[in-house]
Amino acid sequence: MEWGSESAAVSDFHRVPEIIKVSLFYVRSQRTCLRREVGGPTGKSGLALLVTVILLVASRDYLEHITSIGPRTTGSPENEIVTVRYLLEQIKRIEVQSSSVHRISVDVQRPTGSFSIDFLGGFTSYYDNITNVVVKLEPRDGAQHAVLANCHFDSVANSPGASDDAVSCSVMLEVLRVLSASSEALHHAVIFLFNGAEENVLQASHGFITQHPWASLIRAFINLEAAGVGGKELVFQTGPENPWLVQAYVSAAKHPFASVVAQEVFQSGIIPSDTDFRIYRDFGNIPGIDLAFIENGYIYHTKYDTADRILTDSIQRAAGNYMKDFFCALGITLISWFTCLVTVLILAVFVSLIGQSLSWYNHFYVSVCLYGTAAVAKIILIHTLAKKFYYVNASDRYLGEVFFDTSLCVHCVSLVALTYRGLCSAFISAVWVAFPLLTKLCVHKDFKQHGAQGRFIAFYLLGMFVPYLYASYLIWAVFEMFTPILGRSGSEIPPDVVLASILAGCTMILSSYFISFIYLAKSTKSTVLTLTSVCAVTLLLVCSGAFFPYSSHPASPKPKRVFLQHVTRTFHDLDGSVTKRDSGIWINGFDYTGMSHITPHVPEINDSIRAHCEEDAPLCGFPWYLPVHFLIRKNWYLPAPEVSPGDPAHFRLVSKEQTPWDSVKLTFEATGPSHMSFYVRTHKGSTLSQWSLGNGTPVTSKGGDYFVFYSHGLQASAWRFWIEVQVLEERPEGMVTVAIAAHYLSGEDKKSSQLDALRAKFPDWTFPSAWVCTYNLFVF
């Protein structure tokens, strides 16, 4: 297909960043079938898929219009009515302007369903009457196969969601317009899914892939996501299997940007996030590609994620003594790495204990000056001591060669281990083996000649350029992603310990082939003193509080995230009587510093109002929006008047039945706002055997309680479900405790005067996300 006309057609959209637009076509030949089996012979069977990736300028009008609507939480009129209406209007305009060789079909799907997911410790999700806008672009005579492009137009509460994920939906609208205006017919269909409930933990994609009639046509998909705001789009997940997808992407992308490291890190569960890729892979068994922005994750899911931030533009061997020296060198290297790690961890723990954690969050150079310099200084010091007191009579050149071989051996072991485990990331170790080995062979002669040291160093550095350049790129990507994450990783993980460990690991890798230079150098005293001085000065400045962690600077905000939930809690006993009722504003800080930086500005939030865990209640008796209680154990409960939403939640026991297999079946019915959380804890002598949610098998969250996330669109029916409790031993306190929390994330019910007054006291470098909720606990 000739793309000149399409490029010209969109050349006027020059104000938006270069964004990857993926269109999937089949080559113009007689190949008509795309095999769906994993590992199928897609090429040999005469089948080809051409993935055309074009960097084009997408219409900012779409983006600005969607974000101007404001936050678009599932179940809110802004999401369910205003945004849907806008999308349908634009799709209708595109249809009117489309070529007669195409056929455009539009469907608004409102699915209801549930599923279990192994995310955040595992939980079950239920949705009712949420919204999907689905567009199928196909040849006039129809098509039997299709490619899916997915984005989501909903956002988290209190964020306009420009990068996550309005910009992707804008790109998809533009792709639809360009393709539909082409005068050349497609051989197969492209389905565009604008889903309205991704932020509700992937509900809308599940509703589409498991219920929509067009889902059976899909043979491959591309998911457009965001973990940051702008920059290059990183392909961070692909498959399962089907390497032709990646091959097609690489051959067609003008600037491909992908890494198996990103895939394996993301799928390991280290990063507390997930995308619709999981749903299409697990529930649809469809191969695909996951694309996301990763730069500037500091403002991801905050009020700063606005359209204007989407920017417009990683040997002389000593005969029989060599093996002894080699293993000694290996031991010294490992000792230097171990002491390097211990040193930075001691510094990190000290900084955390004095309350100066995250001092680098707004000034990343602080982490390098504090932990990076300490790590490098300790490695140099250990090897300097070994050279001075152990290798007294050894040749400097000989020692340099031995330690080069030691580093090469370490990377070889890493390569073998990673390959044995089947990890694709083994290619990184291969780079660290191949290039240094080739360099060694090339400069070996110069290394042995006394007058050729300058030439040796020049060639050595040139040979190491590729692995060090690539390693620097990967390290940049790691810090670009993990630094913002450490600002929202909860109150239990000391971020300085994590960052110091990562910096120590990076120092070990980057220093590996330069250890030999320590033994070639005449003196390292000035280097060690300089590094130590920088570390010491930085530590003093950190201890004095010179580096404030957060920033409200408009160009680069790095806010502190705080959740404020004005809640009324009601606890009932086995007889249904109210045993406790209280109200307050439940406060959760998303990072390790807790409220230490907030208290000077809001004195009433202090340790005297620390929230206490209700030991007999699931998840400590608080209205967790998601089951992240194991990450955030420090929270505060400020007494406040009761809340009375205009649309109160209702929860009742519909029936209690004794089953033939000696279990008790409890049927419940709940009505309320668009977002609710249901919690279950079985008592001693009882177990939760099955329920009507997901695949029927209850999934526990961390800690042993059960958590169900529920949401609905507009005009949802009452949520009716059942749980089955196997009673092994009758006990007077009952068999199970259940609780339900109703979260009012939109409309007038979201607000309270006390909540507004408290939020107004927070400094501008914070991002307090506030809403009203109710919590009711029952015992059966």
Residue 259 CA from chain centroid, whole number? 15
Evaluate whether 81 touches 714 at the Cβ level (below 8 Å): yes
The packing angle between helices 396-420 and 426-448, to 10°, is 160
Active-site option among 198, 199, 233, 295: 198
Distances (CA, A) of 8 to 4, 67, 589: 6, 27, 49
Please give the Cα distance from 103 to 360 (Å, whole number): 54
Please give the Cα distance from 736 to 604 (Å, whole number): 36
**Is the N-terminal amide bond of 240 cis, ω within 30° of 0?**
yes
Please give the Cα distance from 19 to 232 (Å, whole number): 8
The secondary structure element, H or E, covering residue 338 is helix 322-353
Please give the Cα distance from 274 to 168 (Å, whole number): 17
Please give the Cα distance from 136 to 106 (Å, whole number): 7
**Long-range Cβ contacts of 317-321 (<8 Å, 24+ apart):** 317/398, 317/401, 318/394, 318/398
DSSP string, 515-538: HHHHHHSS--HHHHHHHHHHHHHH
Distances (CA, A) of 199 to 47, 208, 274, 309, 490: 36, 15, 10, 21, 19
Strand segments, DSSP code E, in 163-287 are 189-195, 218-226, 233-239
The one-character DSSP state at 46 is T
- Structural tokens at position 114: 């549930």
Q: Which residues pair with 502 in a beta bridge?
A: none
Please give the Cα distance from 688 to 542 (Å, whole number): 50
The packing angle between helices 396-420 and 322-353, to 10°, is 70
- Structural tokens at position 679: 């919690």
Does the annotation mark 198 as catalytic?
yes
Evaluate whether 667 touches 579 at the Cβ level (below 8 Å): no
- The amino acid at residue 398 is Y
Closest-CA residue to 19 (of 236, 245, 172, 205): 172
Evaluate whether 167 touches 228 at the Cβ level (below 8 Å): no
Evaluate whether 503 touches 372 at the Cβ level (below 8 Å): yes
Nearby residues of 689 by Cβ (< 8 Å), 6 or more positions away:
663, 698, 724, 725, 726
Please give the Cα distance from 145 to 160 (Å, whole number): 35
Largest CA distance in the chain: 93
Evaluate whether 644 touches 617 at the Cβ level (below 8 Å): no
End-to-end CA distance of the chain: 66
At residue 281's C-alpha, the angle toward residues 23 and 35, to 5°, is 60
Q: Residue 728: how many CA atoms within 13 Å on its side-chain side?
A: 8
The secondary structure element, H or E, covering residue 406 is helix 396-420
**Is the N-terminal amide bond of 272 cis, ω within 30° of 0?**
no
Q: Which residues are catalytic?
A: 198
